[in-house]
Structure 1
Amino acid sequence: MAGHEGLARSAWGCSASGWANGRTAACTSRSSPPSPTAASACSTSPATWDAFQNLAADHTGDVAERQERLHRALDLVRGRPFSGIYARRYSWSEDIVQEIITAVVRVAGELADLRLRESDGRGALWAATRGLRVAREAEQLWRQRFRAHALLGEERELEAAIRSMEAMLLDLGYAMEAETSDTLRLLQMAKR
């Protein structure tokens, strides 16, 4: 991934890891004037994609240490990478974006699962929500969010989350995954 970092620096004079912090810096393009929205992809923060990968990497240690590392990795995430960038102008970034999204969803899903196993609904909800900031279409994370709300006894929040996911699916023209339907059915049965 280090090559992607250099590619981003040469294209914008900034870091591909701009997704890691809400603060932005002005980006300068060497090939054309900067896009007003391109700045959202660049960051002055020292938090980098490499730091995320290091924290998320498998390391030997206990479950608590693993959870802490995953939490710290997700704490770097503020939103979808390269958001606000005119897609056609920076089409070269799509592979980078997909790699980052896949990694964030994997880490968020793993942490949410670990928290749910420990009956930590708040921790699971935090992890799933953090991942959904990057990939709102990730139904795995929606299912974990639903389970966390149910675990916490938050029926109104669960219903609101279900409606949000259904609206997102409709907006994107996606059908609900069978596993999501099964999860919703099981949660309904558990309420009875």
Structure 2
Amino acid sequence: MVGPPGQQADARNAVISRTRSWLGKDTNGEAFFPRVQDTGDSRYRLAQALTCDWRTFQNFARIGLARHDEDGDLALRRALALVRGRPFAAIDPQRYAWAEPAVQEMVSAIADVSYELSTRRREAADCSGALWAAHQGLLAAEENELLNRQVFLAHHAAGDVNSLREAAARLARINENLGGGVDMETATAQLLSTLLPKSVSHR
């Protein structure tokens, strides 16, 4: 904050007061953002009872990535079930430019979990589970071609050529709208050439 120390303190106190009001209190009447004299260490910190989807996602992801069994898959699914879109998508990017590194970290973690669970489910011949996992990741990063390739592979494994074509066309539209248009990654184009039926010319 810029300004004389007194003004800085007033501005800080106003922000802290608004934040405390926004977060509210728990069922016992304890503030989720306690006053500094109530934290035990004279520092501002959120109450331990207050959590967020990102922390919950990280906990589930850590468990799921470490375990390659049914419980591990369930943990990854619970992590991805928290994804509703691109992180911070509903905020003004100019006002919250500071959040961009956090957004990139979240998107990367979501994509990693999505890819892992989609791969596991496809290898288990669970095509619908593989598609669900890949699509949850694409909610946060629709342009991610690694996840789009997971979708292509799952549709192919299910024998659903029409859905495969639709998914390929969707990615092409996304790429066309990115920065004036970008080319499909070589690995993606090669995969599609392998998976899609070759057209037969009639003479």
TM-score of the superposition, structure 2-length normalised?
A: 0.69
Moved over 4 A (4+): 189-192
For residues 85-131 of structure 1, the C-alpha deviation after alignment (integer angstroms, 9 at most, x for no partner) is 11111101101111100000000001011111111110110001110
Q: 2: CA distance between counterparts of 1:63 and 1:124?
A: 15
List alignment gaps of at least 5 residues for structure 1.
1-8, 16-44
Does the 8 Å contact 1:109/1:128 carry over to 2?
yes
More contact order relative to length (CA 8 Å, sep ≥ 6): 1
| Corresponding residue of 1:52 | 57
Single out whichever of 145-154 and 51-60 deviates more from structure 2: 51-60
CA RMSD of aligned residues (A): 2.5
1:102 aligns with 2:105: no
| Corresponding residue of 2:184 | 176
| Corresponding residue of 1:92 | 98
Does the 8 Å contact 1:146/1:161 carry over to 2?
yes
**Cα offset, 1:190, TM superposition:** 9.0
List alignment gaps of at least 5 residues for structure 2.
1-14, 24-49
**Cα offset, 1:48, TM superposition:** 2.0
**Cα offset, 1:185, TM superposition:** 1.5
Single out whichever of 52-61 and 99-108 deviates more from structure 2: 52-61
| Corresponding residue of 2:81 | 75
Does the 8 Å contact 1:169/1:176 carry over to 2?
yes
| Corresponding residue of 2:11 | none
| Corresponding residue of 1:188 | 196
Rg larger in 1 or in 2? 2
| Corresponding residue of 2:128 | 122
Single out whichever of 99-108 and 83-92 deviates more from structure 2: 83-92
| Corresponding residue of 1:113 | 119
Q: 1: CA distance between counterparts of 2:193 and 2:71?
A: 34
TM-score of the superposition, structure 1-length normalised?
A: 0.73
Partner-residue secondary structure (3-state), 2:196 = helix
For residues 120-171 of structure 1, the C-alpha deviation after alignment (integer angstroms, 9 at most, x for no partner) is 1101100011100100110001000011111112121111111000010111
**Cα offset, 1:47, TM superposition:** 4.9
Once the two structures are aligned, what percentage of the paired residues are identical? 37
Aligned length: 154
Does the 8 Å contact 1:47/1:76 carry over to 2?
no
